Structure 1
Amino acid sequence: MMQWIKKTGPATLIAAAFIGPGTVTLCSTAGVEFGLELLWVLVLAMLATIVLQEMAARLGIITGKGIASLVTTELQSKGLQRFLVVLILVAIVIGNAAYEAGNISGAIVGLEVLFGVQKLQLGTSLLNVWSVVVGGLVVLVLWVGNYKILERILMVAVGIMSVAFILTAIVIRPSITALLSGIALPSLPDGALWTLVGLIGTTIVPYNLFLHASLVSEKWKGASFLKAARWDTVIAISLGGIVSMAIVIAASAVESSGVETVMDLAESLRPVFGDFATYLLAIGLVAAGVTSAITAPLAAAYVVNGCLGWNAGLQSRKFRWVWLVIVLLGVVFSTIGFEPILIIRFAQIANGILLPVIVAVLLWMVNQRQLLGEHRNSRWQNFMGGLILLTSVFLGVKSIVSVLGLW
């Protein structure tokens, strides 16, 4: 086990990134409202994530660059290059700043259950102490700038929550027939469309493609590491997908017509942990919130670094300034109780456009002989990538028209 942990790579951070408070809440809501009927969505989303993240990792290892850097150096059309750079910067940087507030807020919910509400009066305003604590912890971890430390912290934190939900999913002993049917037979219950879109959106995350390519380009150099990167991706993303499915299974046992608050989800853990379930979920939310709060600003920093051609490292001043601004915005939004609805809506529109665009650019890059040579995409990989592209276009249009209130 220790040997496997020592060999783990960047995909660990990717898996930790998509198991955030939003994933916990959405998967639990899916389980409570629709039982096991949407498990097939998570299976397909997990497979699509593996395909895309493997492409991003392969691109990073062979070229030694991140996706953002390649956009600015490989695209011949200056107009298209500028459009993509602006779109990427807006969607990732502004979007991650908005989502950072949600990540920190999720961790705050857990801390308030464990230690109570802590407010500090500052003039006419109330300061949420836990928001500052979480933000400070994120800054400390990122400031150290040690990749191995980041990996270990995220593995331990997410592991706490993951084991709890997996054990619960096993102990409640769901119907094998219903389980297999939910996994293998696609169905769409009434009112489940947006839950379906949400489950895919919390698994296939645009900024994770940028983050993965950048991290592997720093960790592994040369084609000899491709096998290690593939196994790392398959294992880490599969475990992340299993945890998401376990949350749905555990939540399906909750006798409720809906989930009113995040902590209502503790009911799904009671079959195993009894009265301790509330505290265990609180610990899980803190872990999920902190891990996502670390990866979101880190990804934003890598994107800005590549788009602006800085070639800065984890400990460089420019790199630190980017993620520090993202974290500070998240702390401010969460501590004053401000819900940045307009920013989040704008981020959703930008990401709705960004995902299919980035998938298309990624597919183009991994088919270029001058970039990858013999390691470019196979026909099977292109077929899978094409299906994912079409799906991302459909989901992108859906999310945009939903935010704009047109559908």
Structure 2
Amino acid sequence: MGQVQPAQEQKRNIFIEKLKVIGPGAIIAASFVGPGTITTATEAGASFGYALLWALVFSVITTIVLQMMVARLGIVARKGLGAAVRDQFSHPAIKYSIVAFVILSIFTGSAAYMSGDLNGTSLGLSTLTGWDINVIGPFVGLVVLLIGLSGSYKLIEKMMIALVIVMSTVFVTTMVIAQPDLGGIASGIFAPSFPVGSIITIAALIGTTVVPYNLFIHSSSVQERWHHPSHLKDSKWDIVVSIGMGGLISASILITSGTLMRGVEVETVADLALQLEPLLGGWAETFLAIGIFSAGFSSMTAAALGASITISSILKWENGLKNWRFKAVFTLVIVIGILSFAFNVEPLAVILFAQALNGILLPGIAVLILIIMNNKQLLGKYTNSLKVNIIGGIVVMVCIGIGAYSLLTAISDLLG
């Protein structure tokens, strides 16, 4: 017995040490699980049951592949993706054209999604709780602003970890309570299908998970946590666990919706609460409100963080979150979101414009990442292996397809 106890204690200590590694990846997971993802996953389940689970799994794998590359860039080269993109080109016209386009795309997208997340979160919470929507929106925006102005990376990281834990508790628990069909889930994951009318939903599921500004956030955030290539294993563990958990949250929402709402027309994420009432009783609305708030709060923080980190990196501002220019960009994104909410500005046109820019930016950034990750002068022996390049090439092709579809859809909607 004396030998068994130390072995068990050692395993427990190893597990605890691995949990302590979680951080930068949790920021990415908390970022892509926002009101948009909740709504898309709910609609996917209600419309197609479990059939589109494979698209969600594929999007999580794609995200993991891209985030692992940019994390390696940050840890090995000590350089953010923005700075790496800028330094990749020597010709001034090419360099500054790319810099201007990336800044415009990321800032516009972040501001648009901030506005959309603030509206979605406030509407969801107001519907579920009865609180005044005009109070919820500005209050949430101001809290996010104060967190950003603190200039504390550790505070943001810990907050995002906590929000991922809350979201996973809420949405995974509701999935278990719903008692889904395990055979149907397996079929949805391992037998890909394209039900009639599902292409838009598939693109939306992937597009809300593979987010361009998360690539910039990750390449910078890992530098706050790790400082040597020997930490690459820790980073990989963080990415797989954290983003895998984010994917599980999204999948839980889709599965719950597919179990309880099949054939129901979804108008807002609050509709899911009605389906949970027979299972959770009076707790249904409260439970879901906590999940929606966590998703919206984390996504809004990441949107402002994404714009600030991207611009800071590409313009090579020093001191990260503590730089006054970083805080100015963070504040501007939040203020745009609050003002659009306060004046009831319909963010649809801005979101469509941001979607069109994202349709060009996502595949462009994916290609640039692949080029940068094969730069031996920058990464030395830590450049992509042949296997990673093949996987990365497939990911790039998928991103080009998603980007082209997003661009065409946005143009069609704007013209229509």
TM-score range, shorter chain: over 0.9
SS of the counterpart of 1:186?
coil
- Pick closer, same or farther for the CA change 1:158–1:227 going to 2, 3 Å: closer
- Pick closer, same or farther for the CA change 1:378–1:221 going to 2, 3 Å: same
Please say if 1:297 is aligned against 2:311. Answer: no
Amino acid of the residue matched to residue 407 of structure 2?
Answer: I
Match of 2:165 among 150, 159, 162: 159
Partners of 2:77 and 2:249 lie apart in 1 by 32
Partners of 1:287 and 1:300 lie apart in 2 by 20
Please say if 1:361 is aligned against 2:375. Answer: no
Partners of 1:173 and 1:115 lie apart in 2 by 26
Is 351-360 or 267-276 further displaced after alignment? 267-276
Q: How does 1:5-404 map to 2 (within 5 A)?
A: 5-113=19-127, 115-118=129-132, 128-255=134-261, 256-270=263-277, 272-404=279-411
Contact 1:24/1:244 (<8 A) preserved: yes
For structure 2, list consecutive stretches of 5 or more residues without a partner in the other structure: 1-14
Q: What is the TM-score normalised by the length of structure 1?
A: 0.94
Partners of 2:269 and 2:173 lie apart in 1 by 20
Same amino acid, percent of matched pairs: 39
Shift in Å, 1:76: 2.2
Is 295-304 or 266-275 further displaced after alignment? 266-275
Shift in Å, 1:109: 2.3
Contact 2:164/2:246 (<8 A) preserved: no
RMSD across aligned positions (CA): 1.7
Partners of 1:77 and 1:304 lie apart in 2 by 20
Deviations 1:188-222 (A, max 9, x none): 11111100000000111111000000111232112
Q: What is the TM-score normalised by the length of structure 2?
A: 0.92
Contact 1:253/1:268 (<8 A) preserved: no
Partners of 1:304 and 1:250 lie apart in 2 by 38
Deviations 1:34-77 (A, max 9, x none): 00000000111111111000001000111111111112223223
Is 20-29 or 68-77 further displaced after alignment? 68-77
How many residues align? The count is: 399
Amino acid of the residue matched to residue 180 of structure 1?
Answer: A
Shift in Å, 1:113: 4.0
Partners of 2:155 and 2:285 lie apart in 1 by 29
SS of the counterpart of 1:137?
helix
Shift in Å, 1:276: 1.2
Deviations 1:324-346 (A, max 9, x none): 00000011112222112322111
Partners of 1:329 and 1:317 lie apart in 2 by 18
Is 107-116 or 72-81 further displaced after alignment? 107-116
Partners of 1:17 and 1:185 lie apart in 2 by 28
Shift in Å, 1:153: 1.6
Contact 1:27/1:244 (<8 A) preserved: yes
Shift in Å, 1:135: 1.1
Partners of 2:278 and 2:78 lie apart in 1 by 48
Partners of 2:245 and 2:131 lie apart in 1 by 33
Partners of 2:49 and 2:126 lie apart in 1 by 29
Is 260-269 or 280-289 further displaced after alignment? 260-269
SS of the counterpart of 2:23?
coil
Shift in Å, 1:117: 4.1
SS of the counterpart of 1:334?
helix
Partners of 1:153 and 1:382 lie apart in 2 by 34
- Pick closer, same or farther for the CA change 1:9–1:234 going to 2, 3 Å: same
Amino acid of the residue matched to residue 383 of structure 1?
Answer: I
For structure 1, list consecutive stretches of 5 or more residues without a partner in the other structure: 120-127
Shift in Å, 1:303: 1.0
